[in-house]
């Protein structure tokens, strides 16, 4: 899985439209192998990002959980700590 795609479900505040689209863009980039598609492939690429964004939005809005929402700042701090342990940090 692409490391740039972050978990978006069950956070407070909920994922923004920009976060959902960014995740969809990373997914389409990973599948296609393009970070910047050619002019000939741009329409198909853009359509895939739009459709993936819509599917991701529907998924996030349809999921249910009984777990308490996660705090973005706390989860970011945990991720930094894990990275520092894994890669060594200053």
| Domain of 72, in residue numbers | 11-87
Residue 76 located in a structural domain = yes
Full-prediction pTM beyond 0.75?
A: yes
Residue 82 located in a structural domain = yes
Q: At what angle do helices 17-32 and 42-62 cross, to 10 degrees?
A: 130
Residue 5 located in a structural domain = no
Q: Is the pLDDT of residue 1 over 80?
A: no
Helices and strands, number each (H, E), in the chain? 3, 2
Residue 1 located in a structural domain = no
Residue 4 located in a structural domain = no
Residue 4 has what pLDDT?
65
28-84 tens-digit pLDDT: 999 999 999 999 999 999 999 999 999 999 999 999 999 999 998 898 899 899 989
Q: Rounded to whole angstroms, how far apart are CA atoms 70 and 76?
A: 10
- How many domains does the chain divide into? 1
Residue 65 located in a structural domain = yes
């Amino acid at each position: 899985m692409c490391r740039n795609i972050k978990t978006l479900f069950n956070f407070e505040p909920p994922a923004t439209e920009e976060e959902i689209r960014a995740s969809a863009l990373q997914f389409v980039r990973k599948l296609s192998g393009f970070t910047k598609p050619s002019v000939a492939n741009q329409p198909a690429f853009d359509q895939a990002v739009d459709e993936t964004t819509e599917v991701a939005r529907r998924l996030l809005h349809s999921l249910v959980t009984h777990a308490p929402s996660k705090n973005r700042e706390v989860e970011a701090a945990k991720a930094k700590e894990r990275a520092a342990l894994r890669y060594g940090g200053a």
